[in-house]
Amino acid sequence: MKLLRAAPIIRFLIPKLHQTMSRSLSTGVFQNSQPLNYRAGGRVQPVDSVGQEQAYEPSTGRVIATFACSGEKEVNEAIQSAKTAFKIWRQKSGMERSRVLLEAARIIRERSEELATMETINNGKSIFEARVDIEISWQTLEYYAGLAGSMAGQHVQLPGGSFGYTRREPLGVCVGIGAWNYPFQIACWKSGPALACGNAMVYKPSPFTPITVVLLAEIFTEAGAPPGLFNVVQGAAATGEFLCKHAEVAKISFTGSVPTGSKIMEMASKGIKPVTLELGGKSPLIIFSDSNFDNAVNGALMANFLTQGQVCCNGTRVFVQRDILQKFTEEVVKKVAKIKIGDPLLEDTRMGPLINRPQLEKVLAFVKGAKEQVSCLAVKMVKRNQTHHEVSLSPIGECRDDMTCVKEEIFGPVMSILPFDTEEEVLERANNTTYGLAAGVFSRFELCFNTSTLNRKI
């Protein structure tokens, strides 16, 4: 990696990653010059490719990395590398695996500022949020390190003095396919349990955010993982298809859109591979009139504008009891107008840009469609030059359940506010969705309904 200007002082030493970073570092200085695939314990260029991708810095629109999409031969090389490491890793005790994960967690914690900075540069979220993401990442590895040494089977007593027993065995080579909204954190969520259980992993990040996952791979190697235990292949849909169809892949974990998840499930079914899918959401947030008003407003803001609204479990359908609807909407509008949008590396910025221009155009199309159906409250638009990706903050009220912006996942900073009158009514409406994933309730009293009704689709 190299930087385009000398000040403030930053040092990238691969693979040690030691850096001296200034908190006032501005965007527009990073340029990747290293291979972004990681195999057998080192960065490599893919042996074959199926096209080329470019990664952008969302806050400036600059190309920060150009890379080849891994082809079928490269995917196979990565899987063979993982198989070799798996033979070593599976023989280690849970405590031995735990020590490696704990060391990786320690390294992440020690280098949290540099990792958060790189996450912000490649993803666009504020440094304030990126630091939280990195903290959750090392905590995730610590958690699964704690489980690694305690996993055990069962002893079953049978008649006549006989007994049966079970033991837990790793699956083998697992594939992780990540999303662009939490690149480093999702990689830790997928690799932590897989490695703790004795598996190896080949990971494909989103082509929008290829940078920080390679840093995680280097950290695992530095922490003592066998070379090849965690490999990274870069690419788009074709690369993902090679991974999902490979005969020697034992398990697939995917985070992303519903259509892509459906295709992955179909491909995995050909080889009877187990899959874990975290897909889209259109989650309900129910706010009763007796709730703590300030808490409810702040909760709704977090549930819609965290990471520029690019979160699958966001509570984007905000149901507000009618007698506080006007007051709630006015307060939301007031607070949204105060959200500081700007350079995501500045300390006082609370919202950065959307991931790229196509995502921006998608979000604005939803807002435009909503404006044609209801009286919208479009609160804040940030207009920049052609290389920048604008952000639109738009509470929309009063919405109807049949509106497109209410039914479909927007994945941007848009809040749909829907009035309701009774508990029974809002429960039925909240569950009337093809999505699930999450749900929230703000109320002071002990709810008399069965919350499992609300959560049945989660």
**Length of the chain measured in residues:** 458
In angstroms, the CA 63 to CA 32 distance is 9
- Residues classed as catalytic: 278, 312
Q: For residue 391, how many C-alpha atoms fall within 13 Å in the half-sphere facing its CB?
A: 28
Order across the sheet with 317-321: list the strands: 380-381, 392-396, 414-420, 317-321, 284-287, 440-442
Contact 287, 300 (CB under 8 A): yes
Which is nearest to 303 in space by CA: 289, 324, 287, 321?
Answer: 287
Order across the sheet with 230-232: list the strands: 42-44, 37-39, 230-232, 200-204, 173-177, 251-255, 275-278
Where helices occur in 197-305 by DSSP H, the ranges are 211-222, 237-245, 258-270, 293-305
Instruction: Locate 177 and state its tokens.
Output: 């396919």
In angstroms, the CA 195 to CA 193 distance is 6
What is the radius of gyration, based on Cα positions, of the chain?
23
In terms of C-beta density within 10 A (0-12 exposed, 13-18 middle, 19 or more buried), how is residue 385 classed?
A: exposed
